[in-house]
């Protein structure tokens, strides 16, 4: 690998994230570790990617390598989820292309699952794609980019609290019902 900076010590010193297991390292803490050990140009590339892909069809073209590949996957995943919702999840699945067949199989199996389990399984599909992107990258910038996305994915599950979630949901219902013309200002969240 000529011309690329290798980050042997940094990669070896970071914990290995495991899906479903809370990491002691957050994405923000990961960024701080990397900033201290990386060249500024590489750190700018590292921090340019996000788990959520932009909606524009050509968003992958302007992103750093691994992030562009992940953005294509994320857009396909979101498109397939939207298509399944639109068709009630009963449409015929297309011929699988590369890893996309796994997405369709996974989404078909999730149709009857509770929302939290569906989200977890969709995140597992994301994790598997990140594993594929990580293959062959042991101590380079691409490895660090994948690790960053994995830590971001694990952060979604950090400190989740059912009571706080219910409170946020009820507040959203109150805002929506209060904004509707002719609606009463009393909360309907008690009835839900």
Q: Compute the distance between CA of residue 116 and CA of residue 126 in angstroms, rounded to an integer.
A: 15
| Residue pair 96/107 in contact by the 8 Å Cβ criterion | no
Q: Considering the entire predicted model, what is its pTM? A: 0.74
Q: What's the pLDDT band for 172 if we cut at 50, 70, 90? A: confident
SS3 call for 6 = coil
Q: Compute the distance between CA of residue 154 and CA of residue 94 in angstroms, rounded to an integer.
A: 31
pLDDT at position 165, please? 77
Residue 44 has pLDDT above 90, yes or no: yes
User: Token match 């796994």: residue?
Assistant: 102
Mean pLDDT over the full length of the chain: 81
């Amino acid at each position: 690998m000529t011309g690329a900076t290798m980050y042997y010590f940094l990669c070896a010193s970071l914990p290995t994230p495991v899906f479903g297991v809370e990491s002691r390292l957050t994405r923000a803490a990961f960024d701080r570790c990397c900033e201290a050990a990386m060249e500024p140009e590489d750190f700018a590339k590292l921090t340019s990617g996000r788990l959520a892909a932009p909606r524009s069809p050509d968003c992958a073209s302007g992103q750093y390598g691994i992030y562009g590949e992940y953005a294509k996957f994320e857009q396909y995943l979101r498109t397939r989820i939207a298509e399944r919702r639109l068709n009630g999840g009963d449409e015929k699945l297309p011929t699988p292309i590369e890893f996309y067949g796994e997405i369709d199989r996974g989404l078909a199996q999730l149709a009857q699952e509770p929302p939290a389990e569906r989200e977890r399984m969709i995140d597992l599909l994301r994790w598997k794609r990140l594993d594929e992107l990580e293959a062959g990258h042991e101590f380079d910038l691409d490895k660090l980019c994948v690790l960053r996305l994995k830590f971001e994915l694990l952060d979604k599950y950090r400190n989740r609290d059912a009571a706080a979630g219910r409170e946020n949901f009820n507040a959203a219902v109150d805002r929506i019902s209060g904004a509707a013309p002719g609606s009463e200002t009393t909360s309907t969240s008690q009835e839900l």
